[in-house]
Amino acid sequence: MKLWGGRFEKDTDALVEDFHSSIAFDRRLYAQDIEGSIAHAAMLGRAGIITPEEAALITAGLREVREDIAQGRVELETGAEDIHMNVEKLLTERIGEAGKKLHTGRSRNDQVALDLRLFLRGETDRTKELLAALTRVLLALAEEHAETWAPGYTHLQKAQPVSLGHHFMAYVAMFLRDLGRLNDARRRLNYSPLGSGALAGTTFPLRREEVARELGFAGVTPNSLDGVSDRDFALEFLSAAAIIMMHLSRLAEEIILWSSGEFGFITLDDAHATGSSIMPQKKNPDVAELVRGKTGRVYGDLVALLTVMKGLPLAYNKDLQEDKEAVFDAVDTVQKCLLTMAPMLQAMTVRRERLAEEAKKGFMNATDLADYLAKKQVPFREAHAIVGRLVLACAQKGRALEDLPLAELRAASPVFADDVYEAISVEACVRARRVAGGPAPERVREAIRAARAELESLYSPH
Ligand code: ARG
């Protein structure tokens, strides 16, 4: 008989049984479920709601059930619907009558809300750890390449030279904000819904604060209806995960471009690339492509849960059972992507000579040539036009700006002097961009120091 079978006269239809059972996926919450039940039962004992002996029997029995599940020694049954009722059933089979008192003053509605919070708190911490590890890889690359000149792009057209280190630091800035987002989400998530009951709290004198403290929460949720029916903590994780994936996907896209023959800026290590079953010459950036591809899944997880939530009247509705697979999928996807990207970046070879070669092409020093004139009091708009005409002339003859003899430059503007060549070398262009947040090597090194300190403070354990 079902745990809730009292008012029913018929068995559940087999199709319904299969349809509404969540054990196939919520079994993943067994450790959190049991952790919450242990804290609840211990409190019931302390509060005199059940006897201390019963509480001791229940908590010991739950620990054994946890071990049995961990070791795969017990069957979790579809008929028992979900992880909460499976655990209760296993407990009662093991310890008898006392097991039937575990659910005093509690509902599966506050129970599942608790389990998901505990789960996401742990996975938020794990995600932070992986994100921090990836950020450290990028910081090391940035340090190594603070003076590796590289083309910078807008519209995927050569724009102005930067350093590869500066480029990597852009991603560091993104990932540090992602860490901050995870911290924010974790802070708001960290409240215990236990005591909300099914929706209207309970008549038992539960000690909510005590249980919350025991489970490492900062406090208790403030409203019983909200406690069982809100999933915004999960949505916050999913949105942080979606943004992380978006950042990873942009980085992945660059890795894909850079490893192509046309760019040739990096070579992926063999251990992080794959081949083709028909084309013997191929070496493909599958890891980066999969990261880019999997980004859509995580967006989907976020949109799925947002959509589940949008029409739900208070309080609990079974629709909420759909939260879990979205959360699990996003957790697995974002963590696997972070885990795989870091060593791939660490092991790739940067082809400095190719970067240097490309950094010289495409008139990327045109702005600097205009700035040169502007610094000698030619109005910038006029300087822009002068250099534009020089670029046109050079493009027609296949020359670079620095190839123009001084006489030709002076014909365009008498302000040009000998020192112009010095001012428009790739190196000078980058080194001169000393503005805060700019690519000059000393600025990049300063940014690396600041980012390291920020990483420390964002990643300090709770
Ligand atoms: N398996 C359910 C879920 O994931 C647990 C809560 C069920 N509550 C209920 N009243 N049917 O949401």
Spatial separation of the C-alpha atoms in residues 93 and 97, rounded to whole Å: 9
Q: Which residues are catalytically annotated? A: 155, 276
d(CA 294, ligand 1 centre) in Å: 29
Determine the atom of ligand 1 nearest the C-alpha atom of 198: 10
- In Å, how far from its chain's centre is CA 87? 32
**Ligand 1, pocket-test mutation among 2, 21, 108, 119, most atoms within 8 A of CB:** 108
- In Å, how far from its chain's centre is CA 417? 52
- State the greatest distance between any 2 C-alpha atoms of the chain, in Å, as a whole number: 102
Spatial separation of the C-alpha atoms in residues 196 and 209, rounded to whole Å: 12
Q: Which two tokens stand for residue 235?
A: 């949505």
Whether the CB of 83 sits within 6 Å of ligand 1: no
d(CA 305, ligand 1 centre) in Å: 16
CB 121 within 8 A of CB 70: no
Which residue lies with its CA nearest to atom 3 of ligand 1? 321
Whether the CB of 109 sits within 6 Å of ligand 1: yes
**Ligand 1, pocket-test mutation among 109, 114, 228, most atoms within 8 A of CB:** 109
CB 98 within 8 A of CB 54: yes
d(CA 30, ligand 1 centre) in Å: 14
- For 303, residues 6+ apart whose C-beta sits below 8 A from its C-beta are none
Q: Which two tokens stand for residue 310?
A: 């949008």
d(CA 196, ligand 1 centre) in Å: 14
- 408-417 b/e with 16+ CB inside 10 Å = b? ebeebbebbe
Whether the CB of 206 sits within 6 Å of ligand 1: no
CB 110 within 8 A of CB 196: yes
Kindly give the parts of the chain with pLDDT less than 70.
461-462
d(CA 107, ligand 1 centre) in Å: 9
Q: Pairing mode, if any, of strands 149-154 and 349-350?
A: unpaired
Tell me the residue type at 53: E
Dihedral angle of Cα 131, 132, 134, 138, to the nearest 10 degrees: 130
Whether the CB of 80 sits within 6 Å of ligand 1: no
**Helices (H), ranges, 71-160:** 83-95, 108-144
Q: Which two tokens stand for residue 157?
A: 């057209």
- For 348, residues 6+ apart whose C-beta sits below 8 A from its C-beta are 255, 259, 266, 267, 268, 269, 272
d(CA 339, ligand 1 centre) in Å: 33
Spatial separation of the C-alpha atoms in residues 459 and 33, rounded to whole Å: 27
Spatial separation of the C-alpha atoms in residues 169 and 180, rounded to whole Å: 17
pLDDT one-digit tens code per residue, 292-324: 999 999 999 999 999 999 999 999 999 999 999
| pLDDT of amino acid 461 | 55
Tell me the residue type at 399: R
Which residue in the block uniquely carries the two structure tokens 């819904």?
A: 193
Which residue lies with its CA nearest to atom 4 of ligand 1? 321
**DSSP SS3 for 284:** strand
- Among left, alpha and beta (phi > 0; psi -120 to 50; other), residue 192 is beta
| pLDDT of amino acid 116 | 98
- For 289, residues 6+ apart whose C-beta sits below 8 A from its C-beta are 252, 256
DSSP 27: G
How many CA atoms are closer than 13 Å to the CA of 169, on its beta-carbon side? 26
**Helices (H), ranges, 348-431:** 352-359, 366-375, 380-397, 406-412, 420-423, 426-431
The count of residues in the chain is 462
Complete domains list, the chain, with CATH: 10-104 (1.10.275.10), 109-204+216-356 (1.20.200.10), 359-458 (1.10.40.30)
Spatial separation of the C-alpha atoms in residues 251 and 232, rounded to whole Å: 28
Whether the CB of 22 sits within 6 Å of ligand 1: yes
Among candidate residues 247, 260, 255, the one with its CA nearest the CA of residue 295? 247
Among candidate residues 204, 134, 210, the one with its CA nearest the CA of residue 175? 134
Whether the CB of 108 sits within 6 Å of ligand 1: yes
